[in-house]
Structure 1
């Protein structure tokens, strides 16, 4: 297969990243950071989740954030909805976003611990939500967590994950994202997995979402690209991550992913220095050092002459 020369990247830091922060992030800062990301060339940003405020207090201001952000008109905004009640709340501000994401874990134990339901019950609710989302004229995306391994059950079989993905597609999801929630994927498996996913999900946008817990995030993204994947998710500053695995870090850093793709002459449409600046500002807001390599080292300057 010819390597794709253009990819789409969704920035998920404002949802997947912020929700894991232990300290309260002021709404003003969230709005300012999302606006900066929106001016960095992203055409897709995940901005909020309609979960119970007592479960994820960091995202309790989601409606205010949606009402106040000011991003270019070509930026598609996504929200995450955990269940039908969450969708009810999201649809109250339906005009403020373009896509809604529904989700499930690929492993039974993780799904029960995450949403307190069996996979079968979650998927039954997802079928109903997918129809409602589409009836509202919104884009319906689906996310499968623990697609590459579960901290409780270990290996998750590829066919199990792809069967869930096929059910999402049958329900009307036009995009299915596969999450390496616990950082258990490796490049060889990523290549085989995304080759199989693209074959089994014709007409569906297949999205790769890797975490960098064991340092293989960018290598996995490269392997997915080599398999033909053109849709990725990442988080500026390497924010986010799953709180379950010991030593868990965040998602792969957007600025590192963009830097790698640009060095490979793969177009992202994203301005790398702007993303690095947004990550630097997030570092200031959070009051701690973030871990992305591009934030620390900066972009490569090919105009510099070696001594």
Structure 2
């Protein structure tokens, strides 16, 4: 089981700028918990996501000693990928590739076809630099723009990424519309069909229906789950009303209740929860 903590996703939509030192303290606390990966920042235009304009400054102050967590940075284009890949401390680059043409334009100012060309170049860059490219299939369970969506379309995207040798793909419920039926359908078909790919679940959710989504994904074979402490955040590029992230504490409670040993440092987890309160409460 891999838990991916996404403080970047939680922080990026907050209107007031979080001081750099506050971010650093929070991320350093998260690094001691034992998460597989921490999605800590992004190399995108500060005009698009002003909250993340200090990512490089934050990165320089992160304390990796004693931590097994990998660091992941989100990028929106090849320029950002090149900048992120130059940092030795960064292990993974994440890129949002949308099933929705409208959202791809809103999110990266490119068409899906252009974004796929970027993915090909990013994958080559990551292979050269010893990084892992994580592709998020945004709007992977539907979209609010009436753009075409189907499980078959998602499969076609995965096939194209498989051809590019992308080995980590996260299906993203960008606006919280996934239900147990389509979660089950996608993961139960994709996981056995592409054994060389690690599939993840990046599920945004409302407080009342988070567990049914986790149950469906886990039962269908998913073993990589994204979350954010307290469930704050969402994608500010998706629509005006944000749907929060999957609360990490809910994931931890659920998986421990079904008997999984997540290998987390509980004292560090409690300290990170307290740090998250400084930012989000």
Q: TM-score range by the shorter chain?
A: over 0.9
Shift of 1:73: 4.3
- Corresponding residue to 2:223 among 204, 217, 230: 230
Match of 1:96, SS state, is: coil
Structure 2: distance between partners of 1:90 and 1:116: 19
* Residue 42 in structure 1 maps to residue 31 in structure 2: no
Residues 1:91 and 1:248: Cα distance change in structure 2 (over 3 Å): closer
> Which residue, 185, 189, 197 being the options, matches 1:204?
197
Q: Aligned residue for 1:56?
A: 49
State the partner residue of 2:134.
141
Residue 247 of structure 2 corresponds to residue 253 of structure 1: yes
Give me the whole-angstrom Cα distance separating, in 1, the residues matched to 2:109 and 2:191. Answer: 31
Taking structure 2 as the reference length, the TM-score comes to 0.93
Find the aligned partners of 1:184 and 1:47 in 2 and give their Cα distance: 25
TM-score, length of structure 1 as denominator length: 0.86
Offset of residue 198 of structure 1: 0.3
Give the structure with higher Rg (CA).
1
- In structure 2, how many angstroms separate the alpha carbons of the residues matched to 1:56 and 1:246? 15
Aligned CA-pair RMSD: 1.7
Question: Secondary structure at the residue paired with 1:193?
Answer: helix
Question: What's the CA shift for 1:76?
Answer: 0.9
What corresponds to 1:151 in structure 2?
Answer: 144
Q: Give the whole-Å Cα distance in 1 for the aligned partners of 2:41 and 2:213.
A: 26
Q: 1:273-284 counterparts in 2 under 5 A? A: 274-284=268-278
Offset, 1:155:
6.3
Match for residue 174 of structure 2? 181
Preserved CA contact (<8 Å) 2:32 2:67? no
Contact 1:166 1:200 in 2 (8 A): no
Q: What 5-or-longer segments of structure 2 have no aligned partner?
A: none
How far does residue 248 in structure 1 lie from its aligned partner after superposition? 3.2
Alignment CA distance shift 1:250-1:276 (3 Å): farther
1:219 and 2:212 aligned: yes
Distance 1:146 1:272, change over 3 A: farther
Secondary structure, counterpart of 2:41 in structure 1: strand
Identify if the C-alpha distance between structure 1 residues 240 and 62 changes in structure 2 by more than 3 Å, giving closer, same or farther: same
Q: In structure 2, how many angstroms separate the alpha carbons of the residues matched to 1:77 and 1:134?
A: 17
- Give CA deviations for 1:31-76 in whole Å, capped at 9, x if unaligned: 1111111111213111111101111111111111111111334211
**Is this contact kept in 2: 1:183–1:217, CA < 8 A?**
no
Task: Report Cα offsets for 1:98-130 as digits up to 9, x if no partner.
Answer: 111222111111112222221111101111111
- Equivalent pair of 2:172/2:203 in contact (CA under 8 Å): yes
Aligned twin of 2:12: 19
Asked whether the equivalents of residues 85 and 131 of structure 2 are also in contact (C-alpha less than 8 Å), the reply is no
Corresponding residue number in structure 1 for 2:161 = 168
CA contact (8 A) 2:44 2:75 kept: yes
- Alpha carbons 2:227, 2:247 under 8 Å: kept: yes
Moved more, 41-50 or 66-75: 66-75
Structure-2 change in CA distance of 1:132 and 1:204 (3 Å)? same
Where do 5+ consecutive residues of structure 1 fail to align? Answer: 1-6, 289-307
Shift in alpha-carbon separation, 1:193–1:160, aligned structure 2, 3 A: same
Superposition deviation, residue 223 in structure 1: 0.6
Aligned residues: 279
Query: Per the alignment, do residues 214 and 262 of structure 1 end up closer, same or farther by CA in structure 2, a change over 3 Å counting?
Result: closer
The answer to whether the Cα contact below 8 Å between 1:255 and 1:276 also exists between their aligned partners in 2 is: no
Structure 1 segment 82-93 matched on structure 2, within 5 A: 82-93=76-87
